[in-house]
Structure 1
């Protein structure tokens, strides 16, 4: 176990309490959700029902139209966050389900498509969740997701480690461990999904200082939830980290960049209708002769 799931739920519940403040920090989730939907549109298929894992307040459904789907089942671990925008008008029907992404409540072979944005990086048993997704999908059903990658907030990680080493003589995990591209390709295949693809993108957000970045992460419900995390970060260390951050990465206008690495994942449940590679030795032309 790496993450304290109960703490993560409390963080997300707390993030939803002040609705106006919570919506001010939707910018990152809304942007990534829009990019996921763009990739879903590339499939050129209509999905009667979509399941959105870790839906948050419903960032994905903001970008979905009736020509793509009729209904979205939003599964969210935090009831407060999942119900934050109840009453908001959407073009498609919305059903809200409170459940843990590590224990999916869906019947085998029942779903056309499962999508997820900005949630999977907090899952302890990611292979288990992906395997459950495969079981729930119908044959030739698709999983499409986006999650934070290992280079996310590398600037903050460096600044905090240097500051803690200087002031405390050691470091503690302040930024959650995240997976990388090669690992995700293997995890998708290990879960039994086929025709898998993983690609990488970056979203860079500029902040006045490290303090504003940390405040926004808190208000998003994206604070650290590692089980062995140090519960308190002293102002002395924060001031040192902010200075280091500014010195190493700051721009001429005084702002600092925060890099969010996004891994986009796609995999299909196996089906006989899917294209398959030709048998070895079946080629009718020589590549050497062609070249």
Structure 2
């Protein structure tokens, strides 16, 4: 979000809620101190971070204990149709490939990054959204308008015209359906908690008293539910 957008955003109507607007470098998060926030949110911008492990450790530092870090980010397989079409076209026309799509983190690595940063009770969820475009060039123009063009430093700033024409034909033959060119966006949502004295802890392995296969029977049996509730109350008193 630009500084202008932050400053022009609506004020909170609740006078008890103090709103402070800052424009900072998301890469470094300079200006925030340790244990400052009750909740930390990031939405669809973490794929721009160069050093995710260092960034997540910084996020862990500035959130308070027993508080969550919640976010969503684009992950691997995003725009795979466009990536494959451009690579095949370059192989055909110039005998090699170069990077034209920004790199994305693997879904399975996000949980490991959060854990390495110090977060606990981590939950991940992924969704794939497909957007249909009339042609490949409409997709590329839309990405440019979104500010999501290729961003690596050592990228080739141009693509030859014959490569683009070949990529358009490959995209159409491999992925087009019903006159639409699908573009896949894989979004991974996550939540991680900074450990603290009040954070629930997982029970010891093997300490369960009920098998998961019996859950259906328990739900249908009020007497069994009552006994389990009473036992749970006794255990808590101990």
TM-score by length of 1: 0.67
The CA distance in 1 between the partners of 2:110 and 2:140, in whole Å, is: 27
1:87 aligned partner: 8
Structure 1 segments of 4+ aligned residues over 4 angstroms from their partners: 90-94, 286-291
Q: How does 1:24-103 map to 2 (within 5 A)?
A: 56=1, 81-84=2-5, 86-89=7-10, 95-103=20-28
Report the structure, 1 or 2, having the larger strand content: 1
SS for the counterpart of 2:177 is coil
**CA RMSD after TM alignment:** 2.2
Contact 1:155 1:245 in 2 (8 A): yes
Contact 1:102 1:128 survives alignment (8 Å): no
Gapped regions of structure 1 (runs ≥ 5): 1-55, 57-80
How far apart are 1:287 and its partner, in Å? Answer: 5.0
TM-score with structure 2 length normalisation?
0.81
Of 29, 36, 53, 1:127 maps to: 53
Secondary structure at the counterpart of residue 21 of structure 2: strand
Unaligned runs of 5+ in 2: 216-238
Separation of aligned partners in 2, 1:289 and 1:121: 40
1:171 is paired with a residue whose SS is coil
Corresponding residue of 2:32? 106
| Shift in CA distance, 202/94, structure 1 to aligned 2, threshold 3 Å | farther
Partners of 1:119 and 1:147 within 8 A in 2: yes
- State how far apart, in whole Å, the 2-side matches of 1:183 and 1:143 are: 17
Partners of 2:109 and 2:212 lie apart in 1 by 34
Name the counterpart of 2:140.
Answer: 214
Alpha-carbon separation, structure 1, partners of 2:3 and 2:174: 38
1:257 corresponds to which of 179, 182, 186: 182
**How many corresponding residue pairs?**
210
